[in-house]
Amino acid sequence: MAIIKTNAWELWSLQWIAARISRTYKDPYGGDYGQIFFPLYFFNFWRVRRQTGRKSEANRANTGGLIRAEWPHDYQFLFIEPPANEVAEALDGWKWIGLDGLEPAAVSAFGDIFFRAGDGSVRHLDMLDGKLTRIAGHWAEFQADLQNEARRDELLLAGLVVAARKNGLIPAAGQCYDFKKPPVLGGEMSLREMETTFFVVKVHIAGQIHRQVKDLPQGAKINKVTISDR
């Protein structure tokens, strides 16, 4: 059995994380997979963040702009446009995968990040598989690939996004789609298991989880989830 440790770096979302994991990591036969521990100073820091409030739109304009790419109107809803500083914060959980020299260029509605590399190629950071993959030789090739429905489903989970929107599940500003239980931990990839969540939190925590499970033997059971400051 393995223990997953997660750094609750974005402490304004602490209550949401606790509620999510406490309802997610349940043994179907009645036991809990996860245990969560929050040091007291986490709550103190979280209160300070609540008191200072979120950045105004005017301040957000000074954070490097939005990560935005031009798409045909029919595909625009398959992407979100988070501020560059939030993408940088989210990617702090993925430093282990090797992101040097890569420039974030687009973010999918599920929080996957597409980068331009120095040689012009396009790399895909997949939140489901925890892998960074070269998917196109240049940006125009990537855009052309998205004309193919199967490719849109593969890279953007387009079918699930369409179904979610038809059911009224649409991410607000700062949010993206997620699954209630991460598929890497046995969660189901289905419409009924979808939810909206904070983009930065989802991506950062996904990076921490994938870093810790990548070397586990296939079929290893996760029996503990710990949120800590380490």
The predicted pLDDT at position 68 comes to 81
Q: Which residue has the higher pLDDT, 174 or 32?
A: 174
Tell whether the model's pLDDT for residue 228 goes beyond 90: no
Print the domain residue range for 110. 2-53+65-228
Question: What are the Cα distances from residue 105, in Å, to 34, 112, 219, 223?
Answer: 35, 11, 35, 37
Share of the chain above pLDDT 70, in %: 66
Is 8 inside any structural domain?
yes
Beta bridge partners, 125, equal 113, 132
The predicted pLDDT at position 59 comes to 40
Is 151 inside any structural domain?
yes
The predicted pLDDT at position 64 comes to 56
Q: pLDDT for 69-91, tens place per residue? A: 888 778 999 999 999 999 999 99
Is 93 inside any structural domain?
yes
Residue 139 CB: number of other CB atoms within 10 A?
16
Average pLDDT estimate for 91-105? 95
Residue 22 CB: number of other CB atoms within 10 A?
14
d(CA 22, CA 32): 9
Q: What is the pTM of this model?
A: 0.74
Mean of the per-residue pLDDT values of the chain: 76
The predicted pLDDT at position 51 comes to 42
Number of domains in the chain: 1
* Greatest mean pLDDT among 10-19, 31-40, 57-66, 120-129: 120-129
- Where residue 40 falls among pLDDT bands split at 50, 70, 90? very low
Is 59 inside any structural domain?
no
Is 60 inside any structural domain?
no
Burial label for 178, CB within 10 Å (0-12, 13-18, 19+), is buried
- Where residue 55 falls among pLDDT bands split at 50, 70, 90? very low
Q: Which residue has the higher pLDDT, 71 or 156?
A: 156
Is 104 inside any structural domain?
yes
Residue 134 CB: number of other CB atoms within 10 A?
12
Is 58 inside any structural domain?
no
The predicted pLDDT at position 189 comes to 96
